[in-house]
Structure 1
């Protein structure tokens, strides 16, 4: 039996460990309709007093997105994405802790090609290929550096002033949103 060694970007192993140690998603408190956050497109120079969302589709053929989600208290990252109008899909094995698709990309019938690697279609069964996956990033303030998220989308909490980023990462480099 041949075994394949899979390597992941920094933070991915911490996420796997957190999942194994009980980092399951916690239900977000329900909000009344008057407390429901809203989203507005954010220009590159715009200020966001809530949570900024940046989605970089990398090699997938789609335009990058930047949104501002109104928030005056902590929100689940999954709620922030949903409010911003960004759909995410998790995996069968890890649920919404691992992001498999963003706005249906890569599509279930889309062939993902990465130079030097075997092409494939993403089934969203378990962990994605180490050379083609959605990386989740956080930034505590606008002038801070990006940090690889230590929790999955399903359990990560965001606060006003923070930025949440998703980047479709291919190859051996792990780019930050907007880089």
Structure 2
């Protein structure tokens, strides 16, 4: 493969990644499913979630970090909100490191994409989606229907889909940063 062909292939791959992220940001939210009453064993988890909810609204002098496994409902990945000290713009990857959030890219895009967060989804985990089940191998691009998305929120404002990846995105004090796992377009955006 010539250098020109390689550059063209690499540019096409990155353009496809950008399109995937843009399309995901424009997807419509799924209908809310009815809930059932929680068993007594989840009372502690519910109290913890309420505590985190109030922590989410507290001011943070640094960058607030949230990880939500969303449709996967795998609490092993969930983090936060955690306030990471920052006195100026800092790389999102560094903020996540300081919040003890471990991200893994794909074989093809080790730094540009997020395939797993704190080991989720596990390589042997079945991800149920409209088309059946899927297992994330983290080889090239994550599936267009099941992926981690990156969101940024100003101190006062709405969540916005990040226009850059972890390696280049900078966040500032007062902002919030969220990694959210979406399956079949749900959840469509962070809720905190």
Q: What TM-score bracket applies, with the shorter chain setting the length?
A: 0.7 to 0.9
1-side partners of 2:68 and 2:190: how far apart? 6
- 1:145-177 Cα deviation digits (max 9, x unpaired): 111111111111111111111110011345222
Paired residue for 1:72, among 87, 104, 112?
87
The SS at the match of 2:147 is strand
1:175 aligns with 2:175: no
Task: Determine the structure 1 residue equivalent to 2:38.
Answer: none
- 1:93-134 Cα deviation digits (max 9, x unpaired): 1222111001100011111111x2131211111111111000
Paired residue for 2:60, among 29, 38, 48?
48
Instruction: Give, in angstroms, the shift of residue 140 of structure 1.
Output: 2.2
Task: Determine the structure 1 residue equivalent to 2:142.
Answer: 128
Instruction: Give, in angstroms, the shift of residue 61 of structure 1.
Output: 3.0
Task: Determine the structure 2 residue equivalent to 1:119.
Answer: 133
Instruction: Give, in angstroms, the shift of residue 82 of structure 1.
Output: 0.8
1-side partners of 2:121 and 2:136: how far apart? 7
1-side partners of 2:133 and 2:123: how far apart? 13
Question: Runs of 4 or more off by more than 6 Å in structure 1?
Answer: none
Paired residue for 1:155, among 157, 168, 189?
168
CA RMSD between the two structures:
2.3
Task: Determine the structure 1 residue equivalent to 2:120.
Answer: 105
Paired residue for 1:10, among 9, 22, 26?
22
**Bigger proportion of residues as helix:** 2
| Residue pair 1:11, 1:149 contacting (<8 A) in 2 also | no
For structure 2, the 5+ residue unaligned runs are 1-16, 26-51
How many residues align structurally?
145
Larger radius of gyration: 2
TM-score by length of 2: 0.68
| Residue pair 2:89, 2:172 contacting (<8 A) in 1 also | yes
